[in-house]
Structure 1
Amino acid sequence: MSFAELTRARYSCRSYEDRAVEPEKLAAIVEAGRIAPSAHNNHPTRLIVCDTPEARAKAAKAAHNFAKDGSVFGAPVVLLACAKTNDAWVRRQDQMNSSLIDTTIVVDQMMMQAVDLGLQTCWVCMFDPAVAREEFGLADDVLPVSMLTLGYAADSIAEPDKREARCITREEFVL
């Protein structure tokens, strides 16, 4: 599958089969995140792999609006991407901390790797970071940034015309 095809095949999956993700696929997804680029190669992202009932329940507690079957959207795996903000590169001119950008790149690479392996994902930012911090016992310098649910889709992607209608036009996108 070409990268262009991969980007068109990806969608926000909100319903998953009751089927485990194979360990080798999960390992490949985690590796895609581990090798993602980061500003100044500081690699401030840390990952919590929620692939047990207990860990998925903790993630679901933080993302309670999307809790389903003891997980987030019923996914067999939830990845919680966190940033160690103190480890990130900081731009001198305006003190912009790269940790959120770096962590976003990690999640994006894992998401695309999952789709390439026949899985689907949903990028979740609507969760309570304070609950995630408490549930997972995170240190003060570890910021929960986003979750990535993954598994085998039990729903399907919208038709191309419906997907296109939800996208910004090229004229609006390019300044």
Structure 2
Amino acid sequence: MAFSNLTLTRYSCRDYQNRPVEDEKIAQIIEAGRLAPSACNNHPTRVIVCDTPALKGKAAKAAHHFAKDGSVFGAPLVLLVCAKEQVAWTRKYDSMNAAQIDSAIVTDQMMMQAVDLGLQTCWVCHFDPRIAIDEFDLPQDAYPIHMLTVGYAADAIAEPEKRAERTIAKEDFLNVRA
């Protein structure tokens, strides 16, 4: 699928079919994230694949507002994306650490790969990282940044007019002063 079609097809799916994501597709999604660029090739991102009831339940505890059917939005697959800030490149001028940027690039590449495979996703940041740390017994140097739910959609993308209402106007997008 052309990238321009991916950007039009992808949406925040919040209802999934009770159908597992095939192992081959999971492997392709993970590989897309693994190959993602990072600042100075430091690769500070780590991913936990939540595809069992126990792991999806842990993710749902952290994202309790979106818990459904023992998972987040009922998704058959949740990817917990963590960052190791000590591994990430840091800009010398203002000490900006690239870990969050790098993990966002990984998440984006996995998201677009999933859509290219006929799946849908929802990028979730509204979760309690402390609960995720405890539930997944994360090491002290790994901080949970994102969750990506993945599966076969049980809902549908909004009509183009509705999508346009929720999208920034081009003149505002291109105007830093707006």
Q: If the TM-score is normalised by the length of the shorter chain, which range does it land in? A: over 0.9
Offset at 1:8?
0.4
Q: What is the rounded CA distance, in whole Å, between the counterparts of 2:124 and 2:173 in structure 1? A: 23
Is 2:110 the counterpart of 1:110? yes
Query: What amino acid does structure 2 have at the position aligned with 1:36?
Result: A
Is 2:159 the counterpart of 1:147? no
**What's the counterpart of residue 95 of structure 2?**
95
Q: What is the rounded CA distance, in whole Å, between the counterparts of 1:89 and 1:83 in structure 2? A: 12
Q: What is the rounded CA distance, in whole Å, between the counterparts of 1:158 and 1:170 in structure 2? A: 20
Name the SS for the 1:87 alignment partner. coil
Q: What is the rounded CA distance, in whole Å, between the counterparts of 1:3 and 1:150 in structure 2? A: 19
TM-score (norm 2): 0.98
**What's the counterpart of residue 17 of structure 1?**
17
Q: What is the rounded CA distance, in whole Å, between the counterparts of 1:97 and 1:58 in structure 2? A: 28
Query: What amino acid does structure 2 have at the position aligned with 1:93?
Result: Y
RMSD over aligned CA atoms reads: 0.4
Query: What amino acid does structure 1 have at the position aligned with 2:17?
Result: E
**What's the counterpart of residue 5 of structure 1?**
5
Q: What is the rounded CA distance, in whole Å, between the counterparts of 1:43 and 1:57 in structure 2? A: 28
Runs of 4+ in 1 over 6 A off after TM superposition: none
Query: What amino acid does structure 1 have at the position aligned with 2:162?
Result: K
Offset at 1:133?
0.2
Name the SS for the 1:32 alignment partner. helix
Query: What amino acid does structure 2 have at the position aligned with 1:32?
Result: A
Gaps of 5+ in 1: none
Percent identity, please: 66
Offset at 1:139?
1.1
Deviations along 1:56-89, one digit per CA (max 9) or x if unpaired, are 0000000000000000000000000000000000
**What's the counterpart of residue 38 of structure 1?**
38
Gaps of 5+ in 2: none
